[in-house]
Amino acid sequence: MKQTLRKAAVIGAGVMGAKIAAHIANAGLQVYLLDMVSESADDRNAIAKSAIDRLLQASSFSAFTHPNRAERVIPGNIDDHMGLLNDVDWIVEAVVERSDVKKGLYKKIEDIRKPDCVLSSNTSTIPLAELTRGMPERFAGNFLITHFFNPPRYMRLLEIISGPMTRPEVTRTIREFIDRHLGKSIVDCKDSPGFICNRIGVFWLQCALHTAIRLNLNLEEVDAAMSKPLGNPKTGVFGLMDLIGLDLIPHIIATLKTGLPPSDAFHAYSEVPAVYSGLLDRGFLGRKTGAGFYRIRRMNGDKLSESVDLASGEYRPTRKAGFKLPDQTGNASIRALLDLPDDIGLFAWRIVSETLNYTAGLVPEIALNLADIDRAMRLGFNWRTGPFEMIDRIGIDYLETRIRRDGKALNGMLNVKGPMYRTDGGILRHKNPNGEFTLAPPMPGVLSLDDIKRRGSPLLENPCASLWDIGDGVACFEFHTPMNTLNRELLDLLQRSIDLAADKFRALVIYNDGPHFSAGADLKELLAAIEAQNWAEVEAFIRKGQKVYRALKYAPLPVIGAPSGLALGGGAEILLHCDAIQAHIELQMGLVETGVGLIPGWGGCKEMLFRNHAARESTKEGTLAATTFLLIAKRSVSQSAEIARDLNFLSERDSITMNRDRLLADAKAKALNLARHYRTPASANVSIVSSPAATWLSAAIDEIASGKPVSDYERILFQRLADVLSGDAPGTRINEQTVSERELENFMFLVRRPETSARIETMLKTGKALDN
């Protein structure tokens, strides 16, 4: 889609501003990043410059989807470069959380910006009414709040707050850009302190902190209780505070304290306890300073994990949480936690009941409806279920009875009869304060597999996968194994799905709603066959994968892979056999099989060799085998879809979707587009020249080892991989069939090695590759 904005500026190059600028650059815009003039350095732009350098040096979770995006971020300072703002379409203010500082800056911007330039604040708590008070009408018309979450590239939520004076076209333009080009899921918030996530999230954190101190619990117990059983991230309460930064939370608390009416229940938890301020005084601000409620210390080369004792405020060795829940999962695990007859049960009940009861009273004060609150908490705090969904999981009757038994009054939505959500005829509706149920208006360009699943039954199904009709003649194949690993049953259903789609559909999309496309072949299943020395079964598994993937490639209809998150090993190989890929920008794709002592056996070597051959400009004839070898042997994994393109995992045919919500609809549109003039690819007779391994392997191994010793086993592994990718003699041609046969033969050789079993076992136990 055409971009409506050309140039942007971000003011404030701190934790948020620099990363927001990076993400705007990821969307293709040039962006000025301005901070104060640096007093301590010769370079007046040093603050903004060093912020960009820090982002480029980050070893993980890079703010840039590709390092070359940094060229689009131009550092500057507000004394020398304010004039540049007269040429930008959007200015994001991300300076300290103080309305006097923010408003002082707005006044300067007002004199410079062009009339249609939009200004938005990244404030996490200050209401728009406060930020526009006393400002000219012209200012308010072009002003809104766009609240990104940290880190802005990865956190999907954006809270948006428009004021009564904000011009509708201003909100529309910014929404459109943030949705389609920055890829954020937007939730509209009412103009109240803390908006949605911080209002509820900080209540929850403070309530837990105060209650844990009162009940004399330790942090490990609190975090264990507030994470898995509720479906929340494992950081729980204290781990999350360390992640947010202990210095930031008191700012949010201060705004909530001054902005909320005296009757608001937050005031009961608004003090910052001594143990917390003690950490602040010592400069222990959480993960960014290496110490907060938790810290890791190095003692004689060992790592020692320590936690703060809530009573003394001193560090002590981290303990294992001392409670165990009955073996329950899902909804039952919450009730099991709340019913525990000890202090943990009492604590969990207090936090859960108070947070849910508090939230029940906030509709419509902070949001248009309860579904928006749930979506915000899922996307902004990574809760598996939002508070109203949690009420339904626990059961409204249970909550009502216990809250009344505590002598407390029920708030807002808890007084409205019936569950918070209802499904009528496959359509999910949420409850309104008047007791009626409403359907959330569909978002154009968004297709939800969940909605499709609620409305009907799959065309085909087994415990590992399903095939769905997603309309307009397009079918969708969905994996649903743990981490979407690929096993025999799943491959069976894929074959049947290809056959059925070929008969009855115009195109097939391979997609699932989960965070990861696929972690690859099911190693547990493979290891079981290896341990039983059932080589025939292993061989049949590899043959089956090769056959099904070939059927996918040569199907009489277009097949589109639509991955997000991990697409590793067999998961990457399935994508390489698709006619085209519609990738979410957050794509970690890689052929990582050597990490478990194997080579890609389902056509990954073959497809990469031919892909690299097709992209001749970047892979010259003589280096084709070596380039492909290095990609696989180094287990290169793309850290974004842009980088997947550099690695030739994605080709010119493939496209990138920034917004995860839009991935399925984009993939379907691509499928229909291809279906209009689709021709099955020419069969596997194409052959290519690939240099013999003897001419390049030793240099390639040296490059991988970079001075470290290479074990005999690893040398064998590399030699086998090289054999698959090379011609036997200079000038000999190889085709798809020959490479596939060599994949199978060498896979079967390697799978019998005890070192390979050791690698697989380690991967299953630790998630890490064994270096043997």
Interface contacts to ligand NAI, rule CB under 6 A = 11-17, 35-36, 47, 78, 94-97, 101, 105, 122-124, 147-150, 244, 248
Instruction: Output the smallest distance, CB 406 to ligand NAI, in A.
Output: 34
Instruction: Output the smallest distance, CB 157 to ligand NAI, in A.
Output: 10
Q: Are 145 and 123 in contact (CB under 8 A)?
A: yes
DSSP assignment letter at 650: S
DSSP assignment letter at 288: G
Instruction: Output the smallest distance, CB 68 to ligand NAI, in A.
Output: 24
Q: Are 696 and 589 in contact (CB under 8 A)?
A: no
Instruction: Output the smallest distance, CB 585 to ligand NAI, in A.
Output: 21
Instruction: Output the smallest distance, CB 204 to ligand NAI, in A.
Output: 17
**How buried is 521 (Cβ within 10 angstroms: 0-12 exposed, 13-18 middle, 19+ buried)?**
buried
Instruction: Output the smallest distance, CB 91 to ligand NAI, in A.
Output: 11
Closest CB to ligand NAI among 96 and 274?
96
572, amino acid identity: A
Count of residues for the chain? 772
Closest CB to ligand NAI among 35 and 354?
35
Closest CB to ligand NAI among 100 and 327?
100
Closest CB to ligand NAI among 38 and 411?
38
Instruction: Output the smallest distance, CB 96 to ligand NAI, in A.
Output: 5
**How buried is 503 (Cβ within 10 angstroms: 0-12 exposed, 13-18 middle, 19+ buried)?**
exposed
**What contacts 582, CB < 8 A, 6 or more positions away?**
560, 561, 562, 654, 655, 656, 657, 663, 666, 667, 670
Closest CB to ligand NAI among 248 and 763?
248
Collapsed DSSP state (helix, strand, coil) of residue 395? coil
Rounded to an integer, what is the distance from CA 61 to the centroid of its chain?
Answer: 10
For helices 697-705 and 624-633, what crossing angle results, to 10°? 30
Collapsed DSSP state (helix, strand, coil) of residue 518? strand
Closest CB to ligand NAI among 152 and 600?
152
Closest CB to ligand NAI among 40 and 216?
40
Q: Are 474 and 508 in contact (CB under 8 A)?
A: yes
* CA–CA separation, 427 and 456 (whole Å): 10
Residue corresponding to tokens 């006393």: 134
Q: Are 743 and 570 in contact (CB under 8 A)?
A: no
Single out the residue of 164, 163, 166, 156 nearest to residue 187, CA to CA.
Answer: 156
Closest CB to ligand NAI among 39 and 617?
39
Instruction: Output the smallest distance, CB 452 to ligand NAI, in A.
Output: 34
Tally of CB atoms within 10 A around 424? 9
Closest CB to ligand NAI among 155 and 748?
155
* CA–CA separation, 499 and 496 (whole Å): 5
Instruction: Output the smallest distance, CB 144 to ligand NAI, in A.
Output: 14
Closest CB to ligand NAI among 11 and 212?
11
Give, for 412, the enclosing helix (H) or strand (E).
Answer: none
Instruction: Output the smallest distance, CB 404 to ligand NAI, in A.
Output: 37
Closest CB to ligand NAI among 259 and 558?
259
Please compute, for residue 266, the number of CA atoms within 13 A of its CA located in the half-sphere on the CB side: 27
Instruction: Output the smallest distance, CB 290 to ligand NAI, in A.
Output: 17
Collapsed DSSP state (helix, strand, coil) of residue 5? coil
Instruction: Output the smallest distance, CB 129 to ligand NAI, in A.
Output: 16
* CA–CA separation, 584 and 564 (whole Å): 5
- With b meaning 16 or more CB within 10 Å and e meaning fewer, what string describes 313-335? bebeeeeebebebeeeeeeebbe
Instruction: Output the smallest distance, CB 205 to ligand NAI, in A.
Output: 14
Instruction: Output the smallest distance, CB 75 to ligand NAI, in A.
Output: 12
Q: Which two tokens stand for residue 471?
A: 């309309």
Closest CB to ligand NAI among 259 and 604?
259
Closest CB to ligand NAI among 380 and 569?
380
307, amino acid identity: S
Phi, psi of 740 (to 5 degrees): -60, -45
Instruction: Output the smallest distance, CB 366 to ligand NAI, in A.
Output: 17
Instruction: Output the smallest distance, CB 247 to ligand NAI, in A.
Output: 8
Q: Are 394 and 334 in contact (CB under 8 A)?
A: yes
**Residue 412: left (phi > 0), alpha (psi -120 to 50), or beta?**
left
754, amino acid identity: P
228, amino acid identity: K
Q: Which two tokens stand for residue 311?
A: 């009573």
**What contacts 359, CB < 8 A, 6 or more positions away?**
200, 373, 387, 388
From residue 572, give the alpha-carbon distance in Å to each of 218, 562, 565, 635. 43, 11, 11, 12
* CA–CA separation, 169 and 19 (whole Å): 26
Residue corresponding to tokens 């609809």: 665
Single out the residue of 469, 479, 455, 458 nearest to residue 561, CA to CA.
Answer: 479
Instruction: Output the smallest distance, CB 243 to ligand NAI, in A.
Output: 9
Ranked by CB distance to ligand NAI, the top (closest) residue is 14
Instruction: Output the smallest distance, CB 457 to ligand NAI, in A.
Output: 42
Closest CB to ligand NAI among 147 and 742?
147
Closest CB to ligand NAI among 250 and 412?
250
Single out the residue of 318, 292, 291, 299 nearest to residue 307, CA to CA.
Answer: 318
Angle at 593 between CA 487 and CA 533, to 5 degrees: 60
Closest CB to ligand NAI among 11 and 29?
11
Closest CB to ligand NAI among 260 and 428?
260
Closest CB to ligand NAI among 150 and 737?
150
